[in-house]
């Protein structure tokens, strides 16, 4: 039940987002007991796959390529952070900006995906249970890890980590906790 609610909440948020750097959601539906989200197909690889492939080849991502990808990620997040629904700011925070959620198409398009744990201030019933961690630890801002108040700056913190990892080819924060 919790998973289905999170799934439906993701679709409600994502369907309001229309930007070239965000994976487009076309439809949310249910067939019998099964829910689905129809999303844009991005033919390519995610940033994690790209970084891992370069690491295996003992190569680094060229600086202009890394900066181009990160610039496009910032464009998408800036839009998501500022989006309004019915004239009111949605107050959206992605909360899971990580390499596996950044898609790069074969044509070079960069798209932010997976708003599954996004937090929207305008959606009153969306709450994270106290003590529940949402996101990947290695990309969380300190206040997010501590369970404190987060805002859009938490996403920007994660983007800085993406840039570091794209350029260096290794995880910035690696650990079990």
Alpha-carbon radius of gyration of the chain: 16
Q: Which one is catalytic: 96, 114, 151, 155?
A: 96
In a 3-state reduction of DSSP, which class is residue 38? strand
Active site (annotated) includes residue 125: no
Contact 70, 163 (CB under 8 A): yes
For 46-78, give the DSSP string: EHHHHHHHHHHTT----HHHHHHHHHHHHHHHH
Mark out the alpha helices in the chain (DSSP H runs): 2-14, 47-56, 63-82, 142-145, 152-168
Active site residues: 96
């Amino acid at each position: 039940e919790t998973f289905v609610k999170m799934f439906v909440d993701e679709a409600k948020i994502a369907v309001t987002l229309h930007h070239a750097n965000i994976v487009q959601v076309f439809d949310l539906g249910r067939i019998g007991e099964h829910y689905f989200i129809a999303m844009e197909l991005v033919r390519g690889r995610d940033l994690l796959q790209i970084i891992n492939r370069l690491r295996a080849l003992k190569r680094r991502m060229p600086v202009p390529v890394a900066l181009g990808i990160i610039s496009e990620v910032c464009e998408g997040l800036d839009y998501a952070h500022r989006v309004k629904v019915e004239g009111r700011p949605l107050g959206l925070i992605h909360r899971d900006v990580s390499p596996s959620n950044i898609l790069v198409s074969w044509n070079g398009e960069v798209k932010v995906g997976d708003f599954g744990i996004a937090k929207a201030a305008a959606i009153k019933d969306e709450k994270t249970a106290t003590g529940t961690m949402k996101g990947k630890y290695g990309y969380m801002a300190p206040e997010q890890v501590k369970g404190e108040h987060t805002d859009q700056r938490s996403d920007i913190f994660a983007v800085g980590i993406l840039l570091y990892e794209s350029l260096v080819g290794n995880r910035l924060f690696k650990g079990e906790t």
